[in-house]
């Protein structure tokens, strides 16, 4: 059971209703995390806007989903692991081995591997990455623009991980649990 109030989009009004309508038109339903996040329309709108802005960036949707999995695993967020695994598997047609590697901050492609390693370094070092972390990104061909976007993707995923770990929404995707030693 959720620890914060789950709003019913049909009974909502004002800005929350407007946001729920937009989410439903995009996704076909309103995921439970958004139903709770709607208690603060400012938070829900900010989260949606940052996600939308980052979706137009250079990293692309597949890399974005892989970052989301790496960060969710690091933060032991079952909701985000479940949601992003569903999206990556069903909408982006990524294979299980790719998703499992991403959860461990790894990839077979050298550039994506560097991105995921940097993403997990941001989480474990609480943003205090060192020169070696940045050099590894540059050596893998990651541009300054992409490096900045990685920080943005990690930040938005930290927000949703922290929110879901606090609110504990009912998971409305096929359940994916974090690995037992995942917590940073």
39 and 71 in a single domain? The answer is: no
Confidence at residue 7, expressed as pLDDT on a 0 to 100 scale = 97
Contact between residue 131 and residue 42 where contact means Cβ atoms under 8 Å apart: no
pTM confidence score: 0.95
Question: Do 80 and 50 share a structural domain?
Answer: no
Non-local CB neighbours of 150 within 8 Å, separated by 6+ positions: 59, 67, 115, 118, 119, 122, 137, 142
In the prediction, which pLDDT does 101 show? 98
Domain identity same for 154 and 70: yes
The verdict on 78 and 102 lying in the same domain is yes
Helix axes 144-167, 110-124, angle to 10 degrees: 50
Same domain, 68 and 103: yes
Distances from the Cα of 52 to the Cα of 61, 93, 101, 182, angstroms: 11, 21, 26, 28
Domain count of the fold of the chain: 2
| Token pair recorded at residue 46 | 């900010």
pLDDT of residue 55: 96
- The answer to the question of residue 175 being in a domain is no
Q: Would 147 be classed as within a structural domain?
A: yes
Both 71 and 123 in one domain: the answer is yes
- Whether 112 and 150 map to the same domain: the answer is yes
Instruction: Give mean pLDDT in consecutive 10-residue pieces for the chain, a chain of 184 residues.
Output: 95 97 94 98 98 97 98 97 97 97 98 98 97 97 98 98 98 94 54
Whether residues 145 and 66 share a domain: the answer is: yes
The enclosing domain of 97 has a CATH number of 1.20.1290.10
40 lies in the same domain as 119: no
| Residue-number span of the structural domain to which 33 is assigned | 12-55
Residue 183 located in a structural domain: no
Asked if 82 and 32 sit in the same domain, the reply is no
pLDDT value of residue 114: 98
Tell how far CA 74 is from the center of its chain.
Answer: 11
176 within a domain of the structure (yes/no):
no
Same domain, 104 and 160: yes
Q: Which of 120, 118, 142 is nearest to 132 (CA)?
A: 118
Q: What stretches of 8-165 adopt beta strand conformation (E)?
A: none
Confidence (pLDDT) at 60 = 95
Q: Are 138 and 95 in the same domain?
A: yes
111-165 pLDDT, tens per residue?
999 999 999 999 999 999 999 999 999 999 999 999 999 999 999 999 999 999 9
């Amino acid at each position: 059971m959720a620890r914060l109030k789950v709003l019913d989009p049909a009974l909502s009004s004002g800005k929350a209703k407007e946001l729920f309508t937009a989410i439903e038109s995009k996704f076909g339903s309103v995921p439970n995390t958004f139903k709770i996040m709607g208690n603060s329309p400012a938070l829900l709108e900010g989260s949606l806007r940052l996600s939308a802005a980052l979706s137009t960036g250079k990293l692309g949707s597949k890399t974005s989903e892989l970052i989301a999995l790496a960060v969710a695993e690091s933060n032991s967020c079952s909701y985000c692991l479940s949601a992003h695994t569903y999206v990556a598997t069903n909408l982006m047609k990524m294979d299980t081995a790719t998703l499992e590697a991403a959860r461990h901050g790894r990839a077979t492609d050298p550039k994506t591997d560097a991105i995921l390693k940097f993403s997990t370094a941001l989480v474990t070092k609480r943003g205090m990455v060192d020169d070696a972390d940045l050099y590894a990104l540059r050596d893998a061909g990651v541009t300054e623009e992409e490096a900045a976007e990685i920080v943005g993707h990690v930040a938005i995923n930290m927000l949703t991980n922290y929110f879901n770990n606090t609110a504990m929404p009912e998971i409305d995707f096929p359940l994916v649990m974090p690995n037992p030693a995942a917590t940073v």
